[in-house]
Structure 1
Amino acid sequence: MISDGMAGVLRSLRLGWAGDPAQACARALGAEGVALSLPVGAGRTAEPLWCHPELSTRFEELQFTLGEGPGPHAVRTGTPVVEPDLDRVRPERWPALLPAARDMGVHGVCCLPLGIGAIRVGVLTVLCDGDRRLSEQQYADAIALAAALTGAILNGYRRASRSGHDPGPGMFLEWPSGLRRAALHQATGMVSVQLGVSMEEALLRLRAHTYGSERSLGEVVQDVVARRLRFDDDVSGPYSRAGGKG
């Protein structure tokens, strides 16, 4: 049975949301953080839609940049990933993510794939408290939330398909203007043209450069779109118009 707090969240989901959904979900779950990410592109990499608090934002950015971690694994396999203590995870499972996650203070993670059967529409990430595992009540609430979000997203796509509009998540799940989705796609297209590669490979190049430069993906995307950073020179790597390699 779900908690009263989660029941209130699900009622808001049905009626239309007002306020910050991520913060409300984190509060109802009693979790360190909550994030919702939706897959983009053929590679099915999950891009953050909303997150709370800043720690969740940074962790989702890390997973998106690296393309590894519990979230990407849940999207690829369609199965939940519950790791309440990242210190106990084998280093070879997520070699790049684990040390970075520990450095930023992420102790444990529960990732629930959103979808029905082979249809994958996203992933719900819940950050666990460093001193305890998710309780049975928290896990039941997270499962209920994942199911409700799956239904909301699928219904949004169905309505968009019938209306002939570009499909989107729908309801309170519309992409906030502050997120970089449009800019990311524009930057990916620019890198694709510059290098003469597919959009999927261009996104991989963007992510690899972000990780290697120790910058955020948002910063790299802004530089590409503003033409401050180009990827033409595939031998020596991206370079900045301001001088030197990017």
Structure 2
Amino acid sequence: MTREGMAEVLRCLRPGSDRDPAAAGARALGVEGVAVSVFGQSPAEADSTRAPEPLWCSPELSLRFEELQFTLGEGPGPDATRAGIPVLEPDLQRVRPDRWPVLLPAARQLGVHGVCCFPLALGGARLGLLTLLCGGDGPLSDRQLRDTNTLTAALIAALLGDRGPAGQRIGSNGNTVDDDRLWPPEGLQRAVVHQATGMLSVQLGTSMADALVRLRASAYGSERSLGDVAEDIVARRLRFDDGTQDDGNGPHLPESGEG
């Protein structure tokens, strides 16, 4: 039977609820933080090169860690997204330093001790990721794992909605109801990163993958978020030197009058 704490989380996922499912989830699961991230495109378009974007995060540390992983492109979240299977590292001190060489020291500096990531997927539809921040004091208990599985299933149902054969959403009483599913969400911002990556790929004459590496390196080196750097590129406030002969100067502001 679902405990009262998990029942509260499930109530937060009901249409019209103004309660925070991430905060309720952290309390119910007994973890330091919860983040639910989602892809901003259709399931058929979601692929391993696109990172999900935070939808619910609590506390702020969860959001900061999500942004750190997105900027660096490494960590349990990206690994779980690419592989489509859970990545459980409840004690980051026990992770080999060469597995996530940049993320691990940055995570320690943030105060993140352990991370467990669970993909949100149904069949071939990749919807997002559930991330738990752990205290670093041991693996998740059996009860925590059972409750996490319950939450994962509830999130998938809330994001997609329970749909009948004709596409209607089916309510708990068996009747069709208005389409109030939460996915795909509106107002996500990471599309600008993909746009900036494309612009940078053309500008440098490199592949999209290499352009994203350069973009991430610039964000990390300047201690800015990936989104902020991407917005500057798309707005033509920032451009990169020709990557053929890199002089080490990296990106720079365009001269006055240039766009």
TM-score, shorter chain, exceeding 0.5: yes
Q: In 2, distance between residues paired with 1:50 and 1:190?
A: 30
**How far apart are 1:133 and its partner, in Å?**
4.1
Q: Verify the 8 A CA contact 1:112 1:124 in the aligned structure 2.
A: yes
What is the match of residue 171 of structure 2? none
| 1:183-206 deviation per Cα after TM superposition (whole angstroms, max 9, x unaligned) | 334433433443355555443332
% identity of equivalent residues: 61
Q: Does 1:188 align with 2:197?
A: yes
Paired position in structure 1 for 2:43: none
Structure with the higher helix share, 1 or 2 = 1
Kindly indicate whether the alpha-carbon contact (under 8 Å) linking 2:33 and 2:58 is maintained by their aligned counterparts in 1: yes
Distance in 1 (CA, whole Å) between partners of 2:117 and 2:28 is 17
1:241 aligns with 2:254: yes
Question: Where in structure 1 are there 5+ consecutive unaligned residues?
Answer: 164-169
Residue 32 of structure 1: aligned partner:
32
Distance 1:80 1:119, change over 3 A: same
Q: Which has the larger radius of gyration?
A: 2
Task: State the partner residue of 1:167.
Answer: none
Question: SS at 2:120's partner residue?
Answer: strand
Using a 3 Å threshold, how does the CA distance of structure 1 residues 183 and 242 change in structure 2: closer, same or farther? Answer: same
Residue type of the partner of 2:240? F
> Mean Cα displacement is larger for which, 183-192 or 124-133?
183-192
Alignment of 1:215-226 (within 5 A): 215-226=224-235
2:85 corresponding residue in structure 1: 79
Task: Work out whether 1:147 is the aligned partner of 2:156.
Answer: no
Are 1:19 and 2:40 an aligned pair? Answer: no
What is the aligned-residue RMSD (CA, Å)? 3.0
Q: Which of 58, 63, 67 is residue 64 of structure 2 equivalent to?
A: 58
Shift, 1:41, TM fit: 5.6
* Count of aligned pairs between the two proteins: 233
Pick closer, same or farther for the CA change 1:92–1:118 going to 2, 3 Å. Answer: farther
Correspondence 1:106 to 2:119: no
SS class of match (1:113): strand
Aligned partners of 2:185, 2:135: CA distance in 1, in Å? Answer: 28
Matches of 1:208 and 1:195, distance apart in 2:
15
Name the structure 1 match of 2:73.
Answer: 67
CA offsets per residue over residues 34-87 of structure 1, 9 Å max, x none? 112234665143332332211111111111122211111111222211111100
Residues 132 and 172 of structure 1: is their aligned pair in 2 closer, same or farther, counting only changes over 3 Å?
Answer: same
Paired letter, 1:150: I
Report what 1:166 is aligned to.
none
What is the deviation of 1:155? Answer: 3.9
Residues 1:171 and 1:118: Cα distance change in structure 2 (over 3 Å): closer
**1: distance between equivalents of 2:12 and 2:55?**
18
Unpaired runs of 5+ residues, structure 2, are 40-45, 169-179
Aligned to 2:122: 116
| 1:44–1:76 contact (8 Å) kept in structure 2 | no
Q: Letter of the 1:67 partner, please give it.
A: G
Distance between the aligned counterparts of 2:93 and 2:255, measured in 1? Answer: 41
In 2, Cα distance between equivalents of 1:77 and 1:186: 25
State how far apart, in whole Å, the 2-side matches of 1:5 and 1:176 are.
29
1:92 is matched by which residue type in structure 2?
A: D
Equivalent residue, structure 1, for 2:238 = 229
Residue pair 2:114, 2:133 contacting (<8 A) in 1 also: yes
C-alpha distance in 2, partners of 1:7/1:19? 13
Report what 1:213 is aligned to: 222
Q: Which amino acid aligns with 2:196?
A: A
CA distance, structure 2, for counterparts of residue 151 and residue 96 of structure 1: 35
Distance 1:215 1:232, change over 3 A: same
Paired residues of 2:22 and 2:56 also in contact (CA < 8 A): yes
Check whether the contact 1:16–1:172 (CA below 8 A) recurs between aligned residues. Answer: no
Secondary structure at the aligned position of 2:52 is classed as strand
Moved more, 54-63 or 210-219: 210-219
Residues 43, 186 of structure 1: alpha-carbon distance in 2 compared, 3 angstrom cutoff: closer
- Conserved 8 A contact 1:34-1:56: yes
Equivalent pair of 2:238/2:254 in contact (CA under 8 Å): yes
Q: Supply the distance in 2 between the matched residues of 1:215 and 1:12 (Cα, whole angstroms).
A: 33
